[in-house]
Chains A and B, each alone.
Chain A
């Protein structure tokens, strides 16, 4: 498997996970590391925004429904700041219209929980290597 270059210049690309659900924050970074990426997790959009990872993050894996700032709101905020981080949304609700709208607005992919490891990797790869 070809490993993508890190956006911030380090060896491995950094993937940031933003989800208020603790089990996702526990499990997803481990899987991503197994894939060979660097991974950080944040419990809220605000926490991510105030961290020093914005410039280092190569891809954002973002929950839709969160207390406080929601996923789509974070997407808009990043756009406003001129941060062109590719985003993969993840959500436990099955709502097709939400997915197509998010993709239209520039998301790489929208995955419904639970999703398979291959679906995730595929999404991450297409985020890091846009056609």
Chain B
């Protein structure tokens, strides 16, 4: 038991409790109580004290514990008295508490109120452990923490008290001197007071509990009051805001209160309300009274009525549509409140909607476009009458059918995939406005439609409505227009002369005016392939038929040169360029420009004369640049000749002469001499400015000669030449030297094109082959630098060159030579690197006389004169 305020909160904790210095028995002297002489009990005093205690408990429970301490002091005549409940929280007794708390002390130790002792190491703990009254003498000898508590306790009588049968605390009396000693009578009085302590404590606890409950209840009530105030404010705001009409009424029909909004609706004023003239029964038109009675029945049964629509009369007798709902006041059973919503605007909108729906219906019913609605499964919900005209289906028979019924087979899956994706992701697979699609009629006919559609979501389900316009007629018109436009554009682009279109599937042929004039046919005569055929020069008929057949099957652009035999036996040279197109249905159609090139032909002949001069210049030039190569070719056999001859002479001069050796070297000399002579013969033809003649010749042999002439030049340029000369190449009629000049030119060009190539072998392929149509073709393929795209067009122009040291004559001359042979010279880029130059000439060109007949020998070269 502590001694000062300062140390009040410093009692040792369980963990630091020191070991007792004196054993428990040494401080106990309980047995002495009954051996000591004791005075007579003073019951009167005792009863008085108890009565006082009980009345204190009733009047002022908070002081009862202090009163108890003082009562002990008074009755036992001790120096200090108090009580120590075991407690966990310092307030309530608790059997499991860890400390004894001193809420009340009377006498000398009174200053120590609020102190306490540990449960397991102190006199109170000992009393509870033994569960009986104990008398201590100088307990500070065992419990040193009590030593500073003054004055020291000579004797201390401790009595347990109980709550619900468990010892939860002690009451005690202390003598600080030996002025008197406790005896059996003190023991009895203390036991009795212990019982009171127990009751008083329990009463206190109960009071505390009640207090707590009361305060909780007060708190809840305060919250409810607060809530009610908020609600009230809300209701007031609602009433005052006049958003909704509010009306107070009773079952008799009177309106006892209303807000501004309600008065505005019915156009009455506050005075009308105040006068009590306003009856809700009067406000209600007769036809709505029945509905009101139903609401009143609900009110009586449940206290509320569900909102319903009705009408009120206004003061001027007009009607206002309203929504009304309300409830009886809980406490009256007769009066209630109702809210009233003005539905005028909603009704107006609904009517407008009805009107627009009606209008929509009229539009849909009378539309010339098919209007089809589907649900989100793709089933047709509705189709308008025009659907019958356009698709051939009765609108009723379409209901419930899938939309895909109206599409060609090949579109159905695409539609379903796109539709499903749209529903899943809102991603459109097509334009929704004015998309052109192909539709399917009931009779299986496909036709073009323009489709626009929209989407409505109702009750979480999407419906789609499409407008489908049959545009087959427009399409046809479009196509006709497009065709004529293309017609004109192509024709203008190609030539400014005659043009025609030819739909291959139907053999529908359209001619321009100019073409009728060229063919000397009456304008407007239906043109057929047969009619055209009658004008074709008989020799060209095979060619014509072949062309028609190829055009039918091929679908490629074509170019065609042919001749017409006119009724007056004159010949017209024609040049046609046709472009293959496909119309919307994928049908093949040719659009062609046809040029009468007769005049050009005549001009060309004149020009050729001039060009032949150029040819000779070019020939000399190209031979000039070949000098080194030719010298090389000649020097090779000459070298053999000189060396062999020298050897021969030395062998003959030897002693004895080596005759056999000399003979052998002489033989070689002759052989090499012949080789040189052959070379010179070959070159002579190229050097001579000789008239070109048409003769039957072997193109392979001519090619081999040129290869022999060029070989060293090619070798010097590290070109690897691979000849592929066809075995069964037919003879051609032509000028051997001129054609050789072309071949030489192509080889030189190919070699030059590879002069800078170092990352791959400089392969050069020269090939001859039989071409279609009784023609032969020669091609030279290099792996060189290739052609610039723009160069391809200009390649054959005179003086065009990509070489630093070239004159740019070679290819233009070559082309004119080949054209004079009725052939064609062209260049094509290879799949890999490089270019292939080819020429193709007819074996027996028309217009070239048979070379076998010297009399008919035709001069091919215009420079013969």
Contacts and interface: CB of A to CB of B under 8 A. Distances in A.
Interface of A: 21, 23-24, 26-28, 30-31, 34, 65-67, 90, 92-95, 112-117
Given A23-B637, A114-B640, 19 more contacts: A23-B644, A23-B668, A23-B675, A27-B668, A30-B644, A30-B661, A31-B647, A34-B650, A34-B651, A34-B654, A65-B632, A93-B631, A93-B635, A114-B641, A114-B642, A115-B642, A116-B642, A117-B642, A117-B646
B639 A113 contact: yes
5 contacts: A21-B636, A23-B672, A26-B640, A30-B647, A93-B631
B647 A27 contact: yes
B647 A65 contact: no
Nearest to A21: B636
B639 A114 contact: yes
B718 to A, nearest CB: 8
B647 A115 contact: no
Contacts, number: 84
Given A27-B665, A34-B651, A65-B712, A113 B635 contact: yes
A92 B646 contact: no
Nearest to B637: A23
A65 B635 contact: no
Nearest to A111: B639
Nearest to B632: A92
A93 B712 CA distance: 10
Given A23-B672, A93-B716, A30 B642 contact: no
B659 interface: no
Interface in B710-740: 712, 715-716, 720
Interface in B658-694: 661, 665, 668, 671-672, 675
Contact of A116 (B633, B646, B712, B716): B646
B203 interface: no
Contacts of B651: 34
A24 B650 contact: no
A35 to B, nearest CB: 8
Most buried by A among B637, B638, B640: B640
Given A23-B636, A92-B631, A34 B641 contact: no
A24 B639 contact: yes
Interface string B500-511: 000000000000
A67 B640 contact: no
B629 to A, nearest CB: 8
Nearest to B671: A23
Contact of A24 (B640, B647, B665): B640
B678 to A, nearest CB: 14
Contacts of A67: 715, 720
B213 interface: no
Interface string B616-649: 0000000000001001110111111111101100
A116 B654 CA distance: 19
A113 B672 CA distance: 13
Given A21-B636, A92-B632, A93-B631, A28 B643 contact: yes
Nearest to B642: A114
Interface residues of B, number: 29
Most buried by A among B628, B635, B651: B635
Contact of B640 (A27, A65, A95): A27
Contacts of B641: 114
A31 B638 contact: no
Given A23-B672, A30-B661, A93 B715 contact: no
Contacts of A95: 628
Given A31-B647, A31-B650, A34-B651, A113 B661 contact: no
Most buried by A among B639, B641, B654: B639
Nearest to A68: B718
Contacts of A34: 647, 650-651, 654
A17 B79 CA distance: 150
A94 B712 CA distance: 13
Most buried by A among B636, B668, B715: B636
The 5 closest A-B pairs by CB, nearest first: A23-B640, A113-B639, A117-B646, A92-B635, A114-B642
A94 B632 CA distance: 8
Contacts of A27: 640, 643-644, 647, 665, 668
A24 B635 CA distance: 11
B722 to A, nearest CB: 13
B672 to A, nearest CB: 5
A88 B666 CA distance: 26
Given A26-B640, A65-B715, A115-B642, A94 B661 contact: no
A65 B628 contact: no
Given A23-B637, A65-B715, A113-B638, A31 B632 contact: no
A65 B632 CA distance: 10
Contacts of B632: 65, 92-93
Contacts of B661: 30
A117 B715 CA distance: 27
B666 to A, nearest CB: 11
Contacts of B646: 31, 116-117
Given A65-B716, A94-B628, A116-B646, A30 B665 contact: yes
Contacts of B644: 23, 26-27, 30
Nearest to A112: B635
Nearest to B650: A34
Interface in B748-785: none
Contact of B628 (A23, A26, A93, A113): A93
Nearest to A31: B647
Contacts of A21: 636, 639-640
Nearest to A90: B639
Nearest to B672: A23
Nearest to A30: B647
Contacts of A90: 639
Contacts of B654: 34
B642 A92 contact: no
Nearest to A27: B643
A31 B643 contact: yes
